Amino acid sequence: MSSPKVRVRFAPSPTGIMHIGNLRTALLNYLFSQQKNGVFVLRIEDTDPQRNFDIGAKKIIADLNWMNLTYNEGPEIGGPNAPYFQSERMPIYRKKLEKLINKKLAYPCFCSEEDLDKKRTRQQALKLPPRYDRTCLRFTQEDIATRFEQKLPFIWRFKLDHDTTIEIQDLARGIVQFDLKNFTDFPLTRTDGSVTFMFANFVDDMVMKITDVFRGDDHLSNTAGQAALYQAFEVPIPKFYHMALLCNIDGKKLSKRDFGFSLHDLRQEGFLPEAINNYLAIIGGSYDPEIMSLEELVKNINFEHAHANKIKYDVEKLRWVNHQWIQRVSPQELATRTKQFLQKAYPSIAQLDDKKLAEIVQVLKTDFYTLADAVKELKFYFEAPTVSKAELEACVSPEYAASLKTMIKKELANIENADAFAHALKAEAKKQNIPLKNLFWLLRLALMGEVNGPGIHDLIIILGPVESKKRIEKIVTLL
């Protein structure tokens, strides 16, 4: 008998921004589905209307599109398991709940939150694990009917078989066993009749025939109850990958205060989607080469050696990966991507030809670690530098100042030919035994306000001969 077609799902809640843990879950689901020639489903868990701020999951979908993580079924594109919003799937949940009730695997619980808090407090005082004591399971049908007639608030609980041990297969941990006597009869519904995350999540995975579930290992304790639900419905339990949680460089859980926690942070700073995907896919592993496209990641990521330990999220390593990807991007594409950052700082860029911008970023990109670095690196182009006498004296030895002034003024007539201009000055400096660093530092200081940077030829080409001559003449007067 052949194995069922691989089906995975990313099931975010539209109650917060897309953080790096969500994104890694989506990415690994995508890579796994591509590698196995399977199906990637997007499902929105929007059963908490008070906290939903991304109505219709528009931001989630936009983020996935920006990251090039294409799903095969889900909102906006549809599929055989629609609807893909949990808020629209209540009839399905009620039908599955009725089946459990009819099989006497679910029972009504009338205990109030106050009652449950008291029970937990007492259990903790006795050093017992806080677990529901099954008070309501012991009610007779008459007891239950009376409470229904009184319209007392209640929830439905799933009745676990405490004499059973259940096991799952986990990519990172192998076979994991759960002794159900250590788990509580968990709620399937809330007092308002809505279903819990545990139950809705299970029903959707079962109905959508999800074969492999990728999620954070903070959900591991939920898995025992959900595995018991699969057995109750007599359907195969999917394989799981409880992924190691990302922590910061100090080994602490990532928080909103950590830079790079959200995708919004990274986009605002100018990280490329290719680099973010690349880094999140290889994090915690060892790959050679490390720089890979999505297509290369699909081929090379080894899910047989999944990690179960904490993984450190190192923004500096991400910056390095981003730097490598910036070098890969075509000049025209890099110009397009940096333009949004440059427009905010330099409105005059509107008059700059796209082809010219592409030429400029191609020369300067070796200093770009994020797209936002373009603002600093291109400042000299939009704003002529102001050089003080002190800065000039710091880079040009007084003994060479007069000679440099004379030779530069003489050669400025040839600046239209950037190659000839640079070559002639270099030859003359050697002839007069002037250290070339004094010459090049002086010219860079004049052209861009820095002593280190691109070649003089490149700077003249970028600025144009007229602007270059104007800047060099200005600094020569200070010698």
| Catalytically annotated residues | 256
In angstroms, the CA 8 to CA 213 distance is: 6
In angstroms, the CA 54 to CA 14 distance is: 5
The neighbour count for residue 141, using CB atoms within 10 Å, is 7
In angstroms, the CA 456 to CA 357 distance is: 18
In angstroms, the CA 282 to CA 296 distance is: 12
The neighbour count for residue 454, using CB atoms within 10 Å, is 20
Alpha helices in 329-369 (DSSP H): 331-345, 354-364
Q: Is 204 left (phi over 0), alpha (psi -120 to 50) or beta?
A: alpha
Nearest C-alpha neighbor of 57 from the set 70, 72, 46: 46
| Contacts of 273 by beta carbon, 8 Å cutoff, 6+ apart | 66, 67, 68
Do the Cβ atoms of 73 and 41 come closer than 8 Å?
Answer: yes
CA-based radius of gyration for the chain: 32
In angstroms, the CA 290 to CA 368 distance is: 19
